[in-house]
């Protein structure tokens, strides 16, 4: 089994509901178990400024799937929830699911880069990741989560107070 950290984001079609649905779908991925979910965060969009703010979270998933098999499962969930891939990068979307980390692997495949592209510069990824990952987390490329957090201010984020533990059936744990 590998521990995969999955980034979740939505800014269309009731984003909170989109993330809740995605978490339920993550629980149904074969050969996998949802083990933790971060708080939800509101974040400013990266792309065009004339779009709604995002709701983001990070989930920890233990899986025996290969990384590309997991990516296929995530993209199926996105499509099932109305995701349409367009040429515009960072535009609005119903659901975005990204493999942020996959065990201690460095992956450079067409369509999949792990650790995720620009993870180190995205507070809407790092702070939710810190909610559920061990404080000693070291990425496969040697960077540590505490060092990444120090270099990435908590800006443009708002933590939602809604308890996430009720959203998953598996026990939700913190990685510390």
Residues recognised as catalytic: 83, 93, 96, 98
DSSP code, position 171: P
Q: Is-contact 95 77, C-beta < 8 A?
A: yes
How many angstroms separate the CA atoms of 31 and 63, rounded? 6
Q: What is the DSSP string of 33-84?
A: EEEEE---EEE--SS-SSSPPEEEEEEEEEE-S-HHHHHHHHHHHHHHTT--
Kind of pairing, strands 41-43 and 157-159?
Answer: antiparallel
């Amino acid at each position: 089994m590998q521990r995969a950290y999955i980034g979740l984001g939505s800014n269309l079609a009731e984003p909170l509901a989109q993330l809740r649905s995605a978490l339920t779908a993550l629980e149904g991925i074969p050969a996998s178990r949802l083990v933790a979910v971060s708080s939800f965060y509101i974040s400013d969009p990266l792309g065009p400024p004339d779009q709604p703010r995002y709701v983001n979270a990070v989930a920890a998933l233990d899986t025996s799937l290969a990384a590309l098999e997991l990516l296929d499962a995530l993209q199926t969930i996105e499509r099932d929830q109305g995701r349409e891939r367009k040429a515009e990068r960072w535009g609005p979307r119903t659901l975005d699911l990204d493999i942020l980390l996959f065990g201690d692997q460095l992956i450079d495949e067409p369509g999949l880069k792990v650790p995720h592209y620009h993870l180190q510069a995205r507070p809407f990824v790092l702070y939710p990741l810190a909610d559920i990952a061990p404080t000693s987390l070291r990425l496969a490329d040697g960077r540590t989560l505490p060092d990444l957090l120090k270099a990435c201010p908590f800006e443009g984020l708002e933590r939602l107070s809604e308890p996430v533990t009720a959203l998953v059936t598996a026990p939700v744990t913190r990685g510390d």
